[in-house]
Structure 1
């Protein structure tokens, strides 16, 4: 690199530079540096509209961020800054618009930076996107300096010293591009075949059959879509590794470089290859970072005590570079264009001259959390795992064993009786499941990097840095040898990446503290209804219990024992029927009413069961129903129980929809229902018709239920509430962020509680 003492600002003075990717981490830092330190440059940014927000509006929002405050104030405001120095080119990289005239240079920062993108998206962004942009570059002028931001890991699975030059490869670019772009259509087609659909349908029906076959069908379709996403990631990773790359990201970035190198034959091209980009060392301030990059999920998981080991060798180098070093190097490269036909390559990395090993990383991260631990609820500081770096095979065995144990525990919890303890165990098990999913994904994804024995030579980058004046070396610092890893990790990076998590933990803790005021009052609003399930929601009962309540009242002592013994013997088969299909289960139970007189059942309910039912009625449920009535909401009970059992609840509800027993012309029950029972999806269908007939706005209405079979009822309203839910509904409610309440049954003298209000 020829020496020159003319400053970077002088070299770039008056130039017009196009930037892509300015809404991303590196692009934002680059825009800030150029606006702050290269005052003579005029910038145009390629920004695509997002929804109804234009690219210009998105750029204005970007410039409102704190790091741009000084340059915005110096310009007199955002509008003035954009008018003077920041133009916006509205458009998408995939279909790049014509570039503005008079361009001197382009810095292409945009790209898919996920390590495991769907294969078509990786090819579209990193390969086809670069090709589309370069087509526009050639149309715009013949002497435009094109600076391409790639990654040092395009080296793939090679070992040893990696020079700053082209990556040797024997890949058919056009064949791979066509294959990658065509994978979505092919995988979508495969996802609709019987092999995938049959497997997903059976799983969905097993899980959701009690809620209804349409619910299961919807779950099947969601599972199919997820299968497509996962398969697009899987085939991309497999193809990349079969050709010698770590993942789809590095594979497509390497092919993107091939496209750029073709352009370089007749144009000025520089290729900048950063390693793992992390928070800034100095500028715009120490620790500036946006979003989670490569190391953040692992650092946070370790601090939470959830990363027991690392599948890499302790002495393997993890090549990290602060983002301000990366963008400073880009600006220096921009100011020193190469000759036409001779592309220049620059590694912005640390491993060659200032290596950070996994052991050093671990020791410093642990030291930080020892001094500043995460607090785990009432248990105090989180216990930190001790890494011994046993090797990838040992870590895989540990993870596989944990996954098998999780599956067994998940099966047991899924079939355990409903209780507060069961739900608490389910919550903890779900946390464990998410932890295992995290470990499987990230350890698998980062294992290649943790075992990589790469040493990126940065001879060209160091020569460029040494060619700068002392003033520019200070302003545009990118000599990574100066980074003190202990200071960077313990005093800059870890505090920066944990700060937002600590703030979130504080907010969560504040939400868990009891509020000074009582519960928020319901809003009075016309056209609102509150729909309640009965068994398990309002009162702790079930259909078999309620049958016995009525039936045993008619029998003598000996007959009661015989009937009770008969029903107990049938319970296992009834429970299995209930798990398969609730409507068939209800019909089988209600067959037991064959021969009973309906008027006698009504009389028994009125004379003998009112107090017994009220024994099971939750006072919290009664209060909630009264609140709804006081707010002018229509209260509706939907139950699979037979109508006689709902008679004690008549004062509470504007409408009760219950199972009607069919009777003959003498009023004797036939053992059949007058119509299909309202269960699962039929409840939601009935609610929609009821709402239409009575002017009810379901989006503003409430639903209260306890079972996964009631999922359609809860999904039909805008304000669902899960009441002491079973494990499947509990999990769904947590995922959907529904309200979960615990309405305990009464423990007081039940004869004093009048559900209509007041006490008798």
Structure 2
């Protein structure tokens, strides 16, 4: 009998239809089995009921033939009954179900241990309890009707890290899933508690302080909490991986899938049960169309990294079989299973795999992927040369990787002590790219190595027998004999092109943006119309390192030395040089303390003389040191009607030459004694880090400015809170930490170079000394 006839009128519930296999199964039922009655269990999302999610799913290209055959989207949607719920809260199931196909599951290789158990073990058990209720004789269930056929989608790798043939049978192990579940929940909770112990918090706080100390305590606290949450997640993932390894499985995914099968065998014993075990599921060979895939699966990250030159070698055995199966073969087998009900208490196990009768070795896969990229290389500036794999073995690859990681960490530490420059920013970009490549290699080494060194093959005799039982008319659309797959055609001409096409489109978009100008550079500001109402936009500028290519120590010397006689000036330079290392260490910890140490050296200076020096000597030099690009940007903001603010921790005297360019100047002020001489203290704390952000927020609230439309320009990582306070931030000639933060947030990064340098010796007017 044709499958469409066998399944006509049957109510088939499918879980996981928003996932890869579930979506493909629903599509096949709607297209190839038009008289089946599908039911889908879908959880609602925030603001989106389950029915809306399904309607959105049916609009995809994969369902176009079904929409056309049904006579429209609404009619097709009318064929699909939506049951709202999820595995954490399975609702009562319809009493007239014939088949339940459980496709949903946690399929990541390294989820947190408690999440893997919650979905693959607990969720499976809760669904089975509902299936048993729906199968029980009583109201809504026809007398004499057999129990619901439960079809469980597992994985061929539930057998763990064994070698040789793997039979289509229950996995032999003595692990108690209830004990492991209880232990996993308790362990996850304990790791959460451990993250709050003084030792862990002190370490994470120290790491956050080292990076964000100059920005302020709240920024440090936020980063420390982020690090704590990441630590918990990493520890919970590692706990699952290590527990799986200790019991003979490759990872927590295969471990919990194996325990999920044991749940099926125990709770589902009264039911007709089929366990379907696909191997590595990849893109479609033919249906719904060649190359169809949703998201990246197992092989795609490896293919992408190889094509971009980021995978120089892998810890893989060249003669090992990588067992790949197209998704349409998996789905076709599921449809056939739905029409083949086993006896209750005698579950059937089926492997949908290729290694036993049509093996694809790692080396052959590498050759086919390399052939594709040799003919169709990625065209992007960040793409390296195509690597040549020699397959030296796992141990040499691990030694090279560990050495590279150590060298990278050392380079990162050294970079934090190098003065900023465009060359240093280039080094940081190179280190970031290297770090990304090392992360990819480490991920492959830790997660994928068991799969790429496999010495097993999955027996698929029962699956082949089921395929051979098909009506010949069903084979073209619903066959699943993986021996018929031509790997050269599938890998080189179908799969790799399908997964690289989206990336190539993104590369093309980046090239288009590059031709339009550097990424993130905003369009020129539009000048305000004459007589226009005052703007509600602020434009806030930092001074040192942003408008001026200088630092606080330099500007101190500019301001102070011209007022000293030669001997005192020489002594001041020598004394400052001796203190400079300790001052710079202070600056790395707390910029406010650093500024106070610098400004303490003004003690005894005549403030009137400093003002005169600023107006007569420093003014032309400072304006000469100010970037043309900076001056243009300030002028553009003023022309656009924006209120321009110079916000700096520099002393007031340094801002005097630039004050006419701004509507508001906020700077540090030196305190003076009764004789008008500097005491070495400030009249108020210097505005740095979070203090600047707080000042801008308060200023906007009091005067009615819209920060979401406002601008800020700064160069230092200590100004990260200020830049985050506005909607349109720009990093100007940034230090490495700010550069990375800007790139991560997608902010523009600009370099405003100065026009000239100050003369070596600034000479005061005759007779002017302090």
SS of 1:102's equivalent in the other structure is coil
Alignment partners' CA distance in 2, 1:256 and 1:346 = 16
**Where does residue 683 of structure 1 map in the other structure?**
692
Deviation string 1:262-302 (CA, Å, 9 cap, x unpaired) is 23421111110000000111111111111100000001111
Cα offset, 1:634, TM superposition: 1.5
Alignment partners' CA distance in 2, 1:705 and 1:412 = 24
Matched, 1:239 2:243: yes
Alignment of 1:510-589 (within 5 A): 510-515=512-517, 520-522=523-525, 526-589=535-598
**Where does residue 291 of structure 1 map in the other structure?**
295
Alignment partners' CA distance in 2, 1:514 and 1:233 = 43
Matched, 1:633 2:642: yes
Alignment of 1:357-756 (within 5 A): 357-377=361-381, 382-515=384-517, 520-522=523-525, 526-747=535-756
User: Which of 3, 23, 27 is the equivalent residue of 2:22?
Assistant: 27
Cα offset, 1:725, TM superposition: 0.2
Matched, 1:303 2:307: yes
Alignment partners' CA distance in 1, 2:518 and 2:271 = 69
SS of 1:721's equivalent in the other structure is strand
Alignment partners' CA distance in 2, 1:659 and 1:541 = 17
Alignment partners' CA distance in 2, 1:30 and 1:383 = 40
Alignment partners' CA distance in 2, 1:74 and 1:628 = 59
SS of 1:184's equivalent in the other structure is helix
Matched, 1:72 2:70: no
User: Which of 144, 148, 154 is the equivalent residue of 2:148?
Assistant: 144
Is the 2:39–2:80 Cα contact (8 Å) retained in structure 1? Answer: yes
Distance 1:433 1:397, change over 3 A: same
SS of 2:100's equivalent in the other structure is strand
SS of 2:671's equivalent in the other structure is strand
The TM-score, its normalising length taken from structure 1, stands at: 0.95
Alignment partners' CA distance in 1, 2:266 and 2:315 = 38
Structure 2 unaligned residues grouped into runs of 5+: 137-146, 529-533, 760-770
Is the 2:537–2:709 Cα contact (8 Å) retained in structure 1? Answer: yes
User: Which of 14, 39, 62 is the equivalent residue of 2:57?
Assistant: 62
Deviation string 1:320-355 (CA, Å, 9 cap, x unpaired) is 000010000010011111111111110000000001
Alignment of 1:336-351 (within 5 A): 336-351=340-355
Cα offset, 1:35, TM superposition: 0.6
SS of 1:648's equivalent in the other structure is coil
Distance 1:660 1:221, change over 3 A: same
Is the 2:310–2:437 Cα contact (8 Å) retained in structure 1? Answer: yes
Cα offset, 1:569, TM superposition: 3.2
Alignment partners' CA distance in 2, 1:280 and 1:70 = 16
Alignment partners' CA distance in 2, 1:614 and 1:45 = 70
SS of 2:117's equivalent in the other structure is helix
Cα offset, 1:233, TM superposition: 0.3
Structure 1 unaligned residues grouped into runs of 5+: 1-5, 751-760
SS of 1:425's equivalent in the other structure is helix
Cα offset, 1:516, TM superposition: 12
SS of 1:225's equivalent in the other structure is helix
**Where does residue 166 of structure 2 map in the other structure?**
162
Cα offset, 1:567, TM superposition: 2.7
Alignment partners' CA distance in 1, 2:384 and 2:585 = 43
SS of 1:321's equivalent in the other structure is strand
Is the 1:7–1:468 Cα contact (8 Å) retained in structure 2? Answer: yes
More off after superposition, 712-721 vs 188-197: 712-721
Deviation string 1:190-238 (CA, Å, 9 cap, x unpaired) is 1101121111111111121111222111111100000011011000001
**Where does residue 108 of structure 1 map in the other structure?**
102
More off after superposition, 692-701 vs 601-610: 692-701
Alignment partners' CA distance in 1, 2:634 and 2:50 = 50
Matched, 1:262 2:256: no
SS of 2:9's equivalent in the other structure is coil
Matched, 1:355 2:359: yes
Is the 2:129–2:267 Cα contact (8 Å) retained in structure 1? Answer: no
Alignment partners' CA distance in 2, 1:274 and 1:319 = 9
Cα offset, 1:696, TM superposition: 2.1
Is the 2:711–2:729 Cα contact (8 Å) retained in structure 1? Answer: yes
Is the 1:49–1:58 Cα contact (8 Å) retained in structure 2? Answer: yes
Is the 1:679–1:709 Cα contact (8 Å) retained in structure 2? Answer: yes
RMSD: 1.8
Is the 1:375–1:382 Cα contact (8 Å) retained in structure 2? Answer: no
**Where does residue 211 of structure 1 map in the other structure?**
215
User: Which of 7, 13, 16 is the equivalent residue of 2:2?
Assistant: 7
Alignment partners' CA distance in 1, 2:673 and 2:505 = 67
User: Which of 225, 230, 245 is the equivalent residue of 2:229?
Assistant: 225
For these two proteins, the number of residue pairs brought into alignment is 742
SS of 1:593's equivalent in the other structure is coil
SS of 2:516's equivalent in the other structure is coil
**Where does residue 85 of structure 2 map in the other structure?**
91
Cα offset, 1:515, TM superposition: 4.8
Matched, 1:177 2:171: no
Alignment partners' CA distance in 2, 1:152 and 1:190 = 36
SS of 1:472's equivalent in the other structure is helix
Deviation string 1:712-733 (CA, Å, 9 cap, x unpaired) is 1112222221100001111111
Matched, 1:250 2:259: no
**Where does residue 37 of structure 2 map in the other structure?**
42
Cα offset, 1:158, TM superposition: 1.5
Is the 1:302–1:384 Cα contact (8 Å) retained in structure 2? Answer: yes
Cα offset, 1:519, TM superposition: 5.2
More off after superposition, 439-448 vs 628-637: 628-637
Alignment partners' CA distance in 2, 1:675 and 1:265 = 77
The TM-score, its normalising length taken from structure 2, stands at: 0.94
**Where does residue 277 of structure 1 map in the other structure?**
281
Alignment partners' CA distance in 1, 2:236 and 2:578 = 51
